[in-house]
Amino acid sequence: MDENTEKTINEALGLPAQIRAWLAEKLLESLDTGEAFEVSEEWKIEIQKRCASIDKGRVELKEASEVFLTAMDALG
Phi-psi region of 17 (alpha: psi -120 to 50; beta: other; left: phi over 0): alpha
Give the pLDDT confidence score for residue 30 in this predicted structure. Answer: 86
Which pLDDT score is estimated for 9? Answer: 93
Backbone angles phi, psi at 33, to 5 degrees: -90, 0
| pLDDT at residue 8, as a whole number | 94
Per-residue model confidence as pLDDT tens for the chain (76 residues): 789 999 999 999 999 988 998 899 889 888 877 676 788 999 999 999 999 999 999 999 999 899 989 988 899 8
Tell me the pTM. Answer: 0.44
Find out whether 51 and 25 touch, Cβ atoms under 8 Å.
Answer: yes
